[in-house]
Amino acid sequence: MIEGIAMAENVTNDLLLEHLKRIQATLTALQEGQNDLRERVSELSSRTAAQWGAEARQDLRLDRLDARLQRIESRLDLIG
């Protein structure tokens, strides 16, 4: 009888250990996936910031061109 209980405890412990190993493997995979997503979001943030910077530079350049055009038109009396 005692042998049966000890054997049952070993089986239960072995099953529990297997489940814990699977849970740990799943958690590890989830953490790796989360790290990958963090890297991707960071890359997207960097690209978005770069695009905003490029757009701001283009706007500045257009504003300068507009100011130059207004000065030229003003000198040539093309605007009233």
Contacts of 79 (CB under 8 A, 6+ apart): 70, 73
User: Residue 76 to residues 17, 20, 68, 71, 72: CA-CA distances in angstroms?
Assistant: 88, 83, 12, 9, 6
For residues 27 and 63, what is the distance between their CA atoms, to the nearest angstrom?
A: 53
Positions of the chain with pLDDT under 50: none
Contacts of 73 (CB under 8 A, 6+ apart): 79
pTM of the predicted structure, to 2 decimals: 0.60
Give me the pLDDT at residue 3, please: 66
